[in-house]
Amino acid sequence: MAVTETSAQAQGQVNIDQNAALTAVAKMTEAQRTYYNKNRRFQANIASLQQDFAITLPSSFNYAARTTTYSAYNYVIPTQPANTGSLKAFVGATFFTPGEKPKMITIICQNTQPGQIRPADPILVLGTAIANPTGSIVQCGDFSTQVSASVVNE
């Protein structure tokens, strides 16, 4: 009985940590949209995003950001390897679409496997030769899946 309770408690903590990480990446992704609209560039400094937008970053994950002229990627990666934990990494991407009427679009993706693996970058598939069976203009990278309701167009 004690083993089952301990296992259930551990799974409960994993769910709490995983949900906290999802909340963090969602807020970081939204912060990138807001920051770009105000400053005409993305923010690559996680500490600044955290402070400026009051984002809580769970200690069971590491954080990184990478920016380009037209995109920002926010990574939330578990501190534990897969053999000691079951947390999965996330990446949130914010894209500024090209064209005469540019738009902002975001997506959040979760790795399909647990561990300290940085998720592959999501991609903007407008005008590319990438297979696009869903018709979406953004897609998750290899070995990751889209978090439901995470695509936002502006």
The string of pLDDT tens digits covering residues 37-92 is: 999 999 999 999 999 999 999 999 999 999 999 999 999 999 988 777 789 999 99
Per-residue pLDDT averaged across 128-138, rounded? 61
pLDDT for res 84? 79
Per-residue pLDDT averaged across 123-136, rounded? 63
Decide: 101 and 115 in contact? Cβ < 8 Å: no
Query: For the chain, how many structural domains are there in total?
Result: 1
Per-residue pLDDT averaged across 94-106, rounded? 83
pLDDT for res 1? 46
Distance between CA atoms of residues 90 and 117, nearest Å: 10
Provide the residue range defining the domain that includes 30.
2-153
Percentage, residues of the chain above pLDDT 70: 82
In this structure, of 2-6, 25-29, 122-126, 128-132, the range with the lowest mean pLDDT score is 2-6
